[in-house]
């Protein structure tokens, strides 16, 4: 929703956690402000021969615990405040799962759906030419995000290596396997979310074999649909949505057939046996588990009171506003916050960095095993914070992440 400024939301979450941790004023200010940010323009020659100017960003929010880590988005409504918020959340996300990394994020304001493949390649390479001095395996490591993909990362890595004249595959993650990517990365975000749902079901007695719904049927949403039944022993997908609309079938939607339909037609609409419903209706369905996997602020003060799901597993970044969090907590809706639920992606990206550095690559089974271990421990640590501080899950996750980053800043003598 346009009425919410994502960075104000992110700052509010930081300051709330900092207050409970009794952090001093200097530490509060330091942790609620990006360490480095840059805005720049990219002149790109289009297929028509004309030059188009694109506005772009890269923000390194905090690198006290290690190199900054965060994706690059291509989106027509990209703003510097969105990038600030996402870089901020990346900082706590890497800390919650205890990775030796900081947080960053980048973006280009463009509509990739109307650009040719050659235009996308030229834009990708121009972006790296503009920010190459800010990147490095020990500085800042980008990855895929909204409307970027492994091919984008391959172009960017190649451009960086051309500029630096050295082989540096670990500077970018989520790459194709043939150029230094890792097994297990494609479904890592969804798999990590499903692991946290499994742990929530163990801790609170939720039933994963009941109905579930997915808002946002992009990569993470599609893979969550496929993995839910496989990893949780059942479950019936009754609704899903993408940017073009939402569909519903009380008897259930076959995940494999729906994914095939989406890939074939470009949308979930017109799926056989399903009826179209309003976007907002999907979020308010009576399901056991709801996966918000689209964009920011989907659950807000206007609809939070109508959320009937028992578990909300946030595969998107920032899908719930602070005021909505309080309403959900009051109504006994268990939220698995984004900085925990969607941390599977950055966790396996970290594994990719490790493999690139050692030039020794793991089997997919090993990646899954290490991911499960990391996310399970992180969920349990957040649970401990919930019980210890008697706070809602997002604040508990923020307490874990902010405390770890604050300690690193203090040990370095920054604050």
Calculate the dihedral angle through the C-alpha atoms of 251, 257, 260, 265, rounding to the nearest 10 degrees.
-50
Distance CA 133, CA 58 (A): 12
- The two three-digit tokens of residue 400, written as one number: 């874990």
Is 352's pLDDT higher than 70? Answer: yes
Is 316's pLDDT higher than 70? Answer: yes
Distance, C-alpha 309 to centroid of its chain: 21
Same domain, 272 and 215: yes
Is 215's pLDDT higher than 60? Answer: yes
Same domain, 171 and 226: no
Banded pLDDT at 143 (limits 50, 70, 90): very high
Identify whether 413 is part of a domain.
no
CA neighbor of 200 nearest in space, from 358, 375, 48, 323? 375
Name which of 66-70, 78-82, 374-378 the model is least confident about: 78-82
Same domain, 43 and 95: yes
Same domain, 168 and 101: yes
Residue 288's CATH number = 3.40.50.720
Distance, C-alpha 99 to centroid of its chain: 15
When pLDDT is averaged across residues 52-80 and rounded to a whole number, the result is 97
Is the four-CA dihedral 364, 365, 370, 375 of positive or negative sign? positive
Distance CA 40, CA 58 (A): 9
Angle formed at CA 106 by CA 126 and CA 361, multiple of 5 degrees: 90
* Residue 141: partners with Cβ closer than 8 Å, 6 or more residues away: 67, 68, 69, 101, 135, 170, 171, 172, 173, 349, 353
When pLDDT is averaged across residues 174-181 and rounded to a whole number, the result is 96
Range of the structural domain that residue 113 is part of:
36-179
When pLDDT is averaged across residues 32-53 and rounded to a whole number, the result is 97
Distance CA 338, CA 220 (A): 13
Q: Which percentage of the chain shows pLDDT scores above 70?
A: 99
Asked about 105 being catalytic, the answer comes back as yes
pLDDT of 1 reads 40
CA neighbor of 368 nearest in space, from 197, 157, 227, 221? 227
Q: DSSP state, 113?
A: G
When pLDDT is averaged across residues 144-150 and rounded to a whole number, the result is 93
E strands present in 256-296: 275-277, 289-292
Identify whether 357 is part of a domain.
no
Mean pLDDT of the residues in the chain: 95
- The two three-digit tokens of residue 143, written as one number: 């990855």
pLDDT of 127 reads 98
Is the four-CA dihedral 192, 197, 198, 199 of positive or negative sign? positive
Q: Residue 66 region, left (φ>0) first, then alpha (ψ -120 to 50), else beta?
A: left
- The SS3 assignment for 334 reads strand
Identify whether 11 is part of a domain.
no
Distance CA 409, CA 30 (A): 9
At 379-398, the pLDDT tens digits run 999 999 999 999 999 999 99
Is 268's pLDDT higher than 90? Answer: yes
End position of a domain, from candidates 325, 341, 357:
341
CA neighbor of 69 nearest in space, from 56, 47, 54, 88? 88
Q: Are strands 245-248 and 275-277 parallel, antiparallel or unpaired?
A: antiparallel
Domains identified in the chain, total number: 2
End position of a domain, from candidates 341, 367, 396:
341
Give the DSSP H or E segment for 198. Answer: helix 188-204
Residue of 105, 229, 236, 374 with catalytic role: 105
pLDDT of 2 reads 45
Residue 90's CATH number = 3.40.50.10860
At 229-254, the pLDDT tens digits run 999 999 999 999 998 999 999 999 99
Q: DSSP state, 287?
A: -
pLDDT of 318 reads 85
Same domain, 141 and 97: yes
Q: Are strands 211-215 and 140-144 parallel, antiparallel or unpaired?
A: unpaired
Question: Are 145 and 151 contacting, i.e. CB atoms less than 8 angstroms apart?
Answer: no
* Residue 353: partners with Cβ closer than 8 Å, 6 or more residues away: 137, 141, 170, 173
CA neighbor of 262 nearest in space, from 214, 213, 219, 291? 219
Same domain, 153 and 195: no
End position of a domain, from candidates 179, 199, 217:
179
Is 331's pLDDT higher than 50? Answer: yes
């Amino acid at each position: 929703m346009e009425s919410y400024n994502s960075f104000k939301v992110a700052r509010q979450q930081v300051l709330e956690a900092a207050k409970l941790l009794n952090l001093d004023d200097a530490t509060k200010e330091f942790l609620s402000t990006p360490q480095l940010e840059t805005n720049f323009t990219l002149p790109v020659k289009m297929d028509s021969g004309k030059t188009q100017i694109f506005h772009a960003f890269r923000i390194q929010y905090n690198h006290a615990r290690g190199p900054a880590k965060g994706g690059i988005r291509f989106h027509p409504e990209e703003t510097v405040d969105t990038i600030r918020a996402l870089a901020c959340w990346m900082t706590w996300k890497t800390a919650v799962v205890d990775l030796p990394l900081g947080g960053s994020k980048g973006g280009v304001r463009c509509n990739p759906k109307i650009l040719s493949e050659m235009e996308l390649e030229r834009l990708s390479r121009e972006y790296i030419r503009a920010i190459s001095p800010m990147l490095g395996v020990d500085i800042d490591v980008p990855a895929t995000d909204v409307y970027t993909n492994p091919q984008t990362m391959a172009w960017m890595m190649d451009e960086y290596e051309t500029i630096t004249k050295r082989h540096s595959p670990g500077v970018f993650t989520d790459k194709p396997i043939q150029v230094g990517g890792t097994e297990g990365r494609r479904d890592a975000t969804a798999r990590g979310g499903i692991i946290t749902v499994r742990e929530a079901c163990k801790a609170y007695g939720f039933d994963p074999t009941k109905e579930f719904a997915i808002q946002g049927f992009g990569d993470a949403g599609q893979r969550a649909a496929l993995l839910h039944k496989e990893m949780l022993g059942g479950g019936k997908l009754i609704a899903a949505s993408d940017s073009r609309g939402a569909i519903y079938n009380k008897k259930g939607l076959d995940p494999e057939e729906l994914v095939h339909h989406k890939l074939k037609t470009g949308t979930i609409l017109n799926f056989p046996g399903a009826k179209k419903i309003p976007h907002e209706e999907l979020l308010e369905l009576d399901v056991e588990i709801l996966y918000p996997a689209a964009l920011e602020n989907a659950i807000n003060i206007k609809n939070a009171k109508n959320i009937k799901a028992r578990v909300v597993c946030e595969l998107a970044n920032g899908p719930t506003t602070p005021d909505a969090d309080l309403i959900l907590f009051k109504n006994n809706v268990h939220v698995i916050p984004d900085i925990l639920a969607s941390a599977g992606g950055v966790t396996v990206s970290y594994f990719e960095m490790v493999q690139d550095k050692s030039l020794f690559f793991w089997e997919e089974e090993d990646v899954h095993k290490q991911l499960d271990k990391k996310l399970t421990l992180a969920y349990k640590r957040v649970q401990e914070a919930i019980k210890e501080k008697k706070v809602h899950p997002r604040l508990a996750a923020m307490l874990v992440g902010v405390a770890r980053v604050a300690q690193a800043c203090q040990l370095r003598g920054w604050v």
